[in-house]
Structures are given as structure tokens and as C-alpha cells.
């Protein structure tokens, strides 16, 4: 297992300690691990979103593909029991 060593300012360390106190993380290492996992997840999701966006700009949906979407959406909403 890899080990990372980094320096953080006292204010950030205190905020991490608050997270531990509040039960968000078990330790400083756990807090860093959680933060890195969320950063990596967010970055991956942004990459996927950007790739989808580029693909739709490169090859937009046709009018035929879009036909009926509003009606179908309206029907789905009307089926809800609210």
C-alpha cells in the first residue's frame, strides 16, 4: 500500500479534527482518503460529462430522434400520483 506524506496548515488540520470529532472520518488519514476518493470520483464524472457533451456537439440528435420527447415526458409526469 502506498503512503503519502503532505503538509497542511494548522487551520486545515483543525477542520479535519472537527470532522473526526463529528464522526465524518475516523482519523486524519481517513479524512484525506475520503477527500481524495471524492476528488477522483468528481474528476471522473466531469470527464464523462465532457465526453458526452463533445459527442452530442459533434453528432447532435436529429429532429426525428427528438420527435415525441415532450409528449412522452408529459405522459410520464401525468402518471405520477402526486
pTM of the full structure:
0.71
**What's residue 17's pLDDT?**
98
Cell of 79: 402518471
Cell of 70: 415532450
Cell of 38: 471524492
Cell of 43: 474528476
- Residues 22-69 have pLDDT tens digits of 999 999 999 999 999 999 999 999 999 999 999 999 999 888 888 888
Amino acid at each position: 500500500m502506498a503512503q503519502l506524506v503532505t503538509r497542511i496548515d494548522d487551520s486545515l488540520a483543525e477542520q479535519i479534527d472537527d470532522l473526526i470529532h463529528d464522526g465524518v472520518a475516523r482519523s486524519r488519514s481517513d479524512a484525506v482518503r475520503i477527500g481524495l476518493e471524492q476528488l477522483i470520483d468528481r474528476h471522473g464524472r466531469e470527464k464523462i460529462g465532457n465526453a458526452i457533451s463533445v459527442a452530442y456537439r459533434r453528432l447532435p440528435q436529429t429532429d426525428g430522434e427528438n420527435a415525441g420527447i415532450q409528449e412522452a415526458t408529459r405522459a410520464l409526469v401525468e402518471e405520477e400520483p402526486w
